[in-house]
Amino acid sequence: MEGCGLRAVGSHCSLSEMDDLDLTRALDKPRLKIERKRSFDERSMSELSTGYSRHDGIHDSPRGRSVLDTPLSSARNSFEPHPMMAEAWEALRRSMVFFRGQPVGTLAAVDNTTDEVLNYDQVFVRDFVPSALAFLMNGEPDIVKHFLLKTLQLQGWEKRVDRFKLGEGVMPASFKVLHDPIRETDNIVADFGESAIGRVAPVDSGFWWIILLRAYTKSTGDLTLSETPECQKGMKLILSLCLAEGFDTFPTLLCADGCSMIDRRMGVYGYPIEIQALFFMALRSALSMLKPDGDGRECIERIVKRLHALSFHMRNYFWLDHQNLNDIYRFKTEEYSHTAVNKFNVMPDSIPEWVFDFMPLRGGYFVGNVGPAHMDFRWFALGNCVSILSSLATPDQSMAIMDLLEHRWAELVGEMPLKICYPCLEGHEWRIVTGCDPKNTRWSYHNGGSWPVLLWQLTAACIKTGRPQIARRAVDLIESRLHRDCWPEYYDGKLGRYVGKQARKYQTWSIAGYLVAKMLLEDPSHIGMISLEEDKLMKPVIKRSASWPQL
């Protein structure tokens, strides 16, 4: 590969041995300054059919809607900077990590109250996303650019677990900068899953990398980064891992447990909504950045086909509302042939009791997982918010997801936004599904714990659906506690009332998530960085009403 000079080196080899000259060269390229936020093209299906032409960007205007039952916020119209903002910025800057003088990321946590550091002193790819968005919204794109380039170099490393070699495109879960004060050198070590608990590769890292590259490009108008051969290759390598043909009968991506934000066994193996939504968003983001030259054109064509199949599958089979639930409840089983209605042979007896009470007449959501004879009815926050942001959800489905959130505020938000999933697993189920994980006991951590970082995704989804008042109410809850509790990683309990048993303090993404939410509310035009409008050619084929008619 020309340009960045990425070399395949053993993962024990340090980055200091690699040539950084080309990285510097890439950074020094003159920036093409185009109109901020609206300068970046979106390539839609329709454009593709007319020969990959490019035109001016989408307009991510929030959809106007007023809802009578929308919660009120005390800070409804006030954009006065909250004193927590300054504290948050200071804490975020304290978490910055430098490699040879350049900022390249933020630590997962800067918790001086505990000696148990584990790997929280590393830069996690997924954790850096809200930090990156905060910096972009604040007009500080350099750290994001350095991060994107540094992780791209890490992708070039050879990755092994024991004697098994991982795919070329795999991006690290995290990396660490080691400073040698005597030799005055910086080295990097990275984890692609070979050190992670459970030895699972982070499927989400590559998707977040592509989504962030788009956010950077969209925010700065600097097309030169995404157009470098290195970034183009990086995207193609990530996507070729997911677009390869094999034994799959579904367009969704088959995953191991623990391959995303929920990085421990939680029964999300199979086709988890979080990964499917990020996959969809990464595909659409890549589509807007890939150049249709050489193998780029072929990659684009594969993306387009996959997007059609994926959106059809998700919108039809993952979607659950009152009507759908009733249909599944009455499903026949053991249907053979193409005419089967119950295609995956889901047994109505496997529908958990809680979902009948939980499901309002108005509202709906994408369920956690769908596979052969398997439907995980749990509600997951990240997957549903990203479905709205990426427009995997149709406009009606997006509204229905927000309706459900309002109806089930006590369960999903409670006293601390936002539950990572609902409900929790307990007793026998917890034993079987988590393998008796003592960190994931009921209403704790990944098992129904409340994660402040999810505030930014909730806020973005609220803005996109035209319901900022919901986000304001969530921000109010955060402002009443987060700073006082020293920015914990997560909260425990049915209402999220208690600081998590093993939660880190000064968890960076809790801090950055708050900043992003505040900046989004203050200037909703930032939404364009992390939101994609519906592609008209991906019309859903939905037989039943996705939600009640809008008022």
Nearest distance in Å: CB 190, ligand GLC: 14
Nearest distance in Å: CB 454, ligand GLC: 11
Among 263, 274, 406, 535, binds ligand GLC (CB under 6 A): 263
In the window 413-452, what residues touch ligand GLC (CB under 6 A)?
none
What's the rounded Cα separation, in Å, for the pair 391 and 319? 14
Nearest distance in Å: CB 371, ligand GLC: 23
Does residue 405 contact residue 398 with C-beta atoms inside 8 Å?
no
Nearest distance in Å: CB 191, ligand GLC: 11
Of 119-127, 163-171, 270-278, 532-540, which part binds ligand GLC (CB under 6 A)? 119-127
Of 18-26, 68-76, 122-130, 320-328, which part binds ligand GLC (CB under 6 A)? 122-130
Q: Quick one: three-class SS letters along 487-520?
A: CCCCEECCCCCEECCCCCCCEHHHHHHHHHHHHH
Nearest distance in Å: CB 55, ligand GLC: 37
Residue with tokens 């590769």, as numbered in its chain: 201
Q: Which of 208, 309, 211 is nearest to 253 (CA)?
A: 309
DSSP states of 180-209: ETTTTEEEEEEESSSSSTT----HHHHHHH
Q: Which three-class secondary structure state does DSSP give residue 367?
A: strand
- 257 touching ligand GLC, by CB under 6 A: no
Nearest distance in Å: CB 176, ligand GLC: 12
Closer CB to ligand GLC, residue 124 or residue 157?
A: 124
Closer CB to ligand GLC, residue 47 or residue 263?
A: 263
In the window 195-224, what residues touch ligand GLC (CB under 6 A)?
none
What's the rounded Cα separation, in Å, for the pair 105 and 93? 10
Tokens of 389: 């942001």
Of 61-69, 121-129, 157-165, 331-339, which part binds ligand GLC (CB under 6 A)? 121-129
Total residues contacting ligand GLC by CB under 6 A comes to 6
Q: What amino acid occupies position 150? A: K
Those residues whose C-beta lies under 8 Å from the C-beta of residue 310, and which sit 6 or more positions away, are 251, 252, 276, 279, 280, 283, 392
CA dihedral angle for residue 39, residue 42, residue 46, residue 52, rounded to 10 degrees: 80
Does residue 212 contact residue 283 with C-beta atoms inside 8 Å?
no
End-to-end CA distance of the chain: 56
Of 120-128, 245-253, 417-425, 463-471, which part binds ligand GLC (CB under 6 A)? 120-128
Q: Which of 401, 395, 137, 368 is nearest to 266 (CA)?
A: 368
In the window 127-146, what residues touch ligand GLC (CB under 6 A)?
127
From residue 4, give the alpha-carbon distance in Å to each of 20, 27, 150, 156.
8, 11, 11, 10
Q: Where are the beta strands (DSSP E) in 163-309?
A: 164-165, 174-180, 185-191
- 108 touching ligand GLC, by CB under 6 A: yes
- 126 touching ligand GLC, by CB under 6 A: yes
**Position closest to ligand GLC via CB:** 108
Give the x/- contact pattern for ligand GLC in 283-322, rule: CB under 6 A: ----------------------------------------
Closer CB to ligand GLC, residue 262 or residue 413?
A: 262
Residues lying near ligand GLC in the complex (CB under 6 A): 108, 124, 126-127, 261, 263
